[in-house]
Amino acid sequence: MKIRIGYELDYDLPQPTPMILMLNVHFSRFSDLVTPDHMRIRPSVPIRAYRDGFGNWCSRVLAPQGKVRISADAIIADSGLPEAFDRSAGQVPVEDLPEECIVFLLASRFCDSDRMLDLAWQLFGHTQPGAPRVQAICDFVHQRIAFDYNDASVTRSASEAYREGRGVCRDYAHLAIAFCRALNIPARYCTCYLGDMGTPKPWPPGDFAASFEAYLEGGWQMFDPRNNVPRIGRVLIARGRDAADVAIATSFGPNTLTGFRVWTDEVPETD
C-alpha cells in the first residue's frame, strides 16, 4: 500500500528565531519514499542539515519574524500489514549487548529509571525475561495511564506519569522505557507517523505518535504501550533516549504555535 504523510506547522514569531527541526522520515525508511518529504518553509529561508548523535536527520533554520509555515507532503510505500512481533525473543545479558545499546540502559531526563528500580522488580521480576517481560510492561502501562490530550505536559517524567496515572503517548513510552531500563533491557524512544488504518472510525485528528524499541535477541523490536496492539503503517521519524532527544521542533526564542496538522492517510488504489 501507499501512504500519504505530511504536516503543517504554523508559528507566529515576535523576532527572528533559530530553530532545529526533526521532521524528516528516518533514514531506515528513506528507500520507501515514493515522493520526497522535502521540508518547505514560507517565507522561504535557507535550511542547513546535519545528523545528530543518534543518526537522526535535523534541519537548522533562522525563522523570520512574523507568521511562518513549516510543511511537507510525501508518499511512502508500506507493506500494509500489521506490525510483526517476535513474542519468543529472549533477553540479552548486559555483558553481551552491543556497545551501541549501553546508552539506552541509562536513566535520562524523562526516563528516570534510577528512581524506579525497586518498583520495576516488584512488578515484573516474576515475568519471563525477554519479549514476554516487555509485553507485560506494556500491558501494565496501557492500564496505568489514562490518555487525555488535555493532560499533556512537556516536563512530566516517567516516575511522575506513574504517580499521576495520566498523560499522552509520550508518557506511555517514557514509563515503559524506564521500566525496561530498570530491568536491564535497552529501550529507546521513537517518534513516528501513525495513522488509524485498520482501526474503527471515527478517527481522531492526526498527530505524531510516540512508541519505543527494546533490544532483545534478534535486535531492536517496536512496542507501543499507548495502543498496545499491532498497527498498520507506522513510519519512523527519529530515535533517542527520550522525547528531549527527538523534539519535532526546538526554538531558541519566544513563539506561538497557531496551527498544527499531521496526516497519515492510505492512498486509494488506482487502475
Question: What pLDDT does 150 receive?
Answer: 84
Alpha helices, H only, the chain: 117-124, 131-144, 158-164, 169-182
pLDDT in tens, 48-71: 999 999 999 999 999 999 999 999
Residue with cell 507566529: 12
Distance set, CA 235 to CA 1, 4, 24 (Å): 13, 11, 10
Low-confidence ranges of the chain (pLDDT < 70): 271
Percentage with pLDDT > 70 across the chain? 100
Q: What's the pLDDT score for residue 214?
A: 98
Separation of alpha carbons 168 and 35, rounded Å: 31
User: CA 159 to CA 117: how far, in whole Å?
Assistant: 11
Q: How far is CA 104 from CA 51, 60, 223, 238, in A?
A: 19, 26, 15, 15
Q: How deeply is 147 buried, as exposed, middle or buried, from its count of CB atoms within 10 A (0-12, 13-18, 19+)? A: middle
Q: Which domains does the chain have, with CATH numbers?
A: 2-80+248-266 (2.60.40.2250), 94-245 (3.10.620.30)
So what's the pLDDT on residue 204?
87
How many Cα atoms are found within 13 Å in the side-chain-facing hemisphere of 165?
3
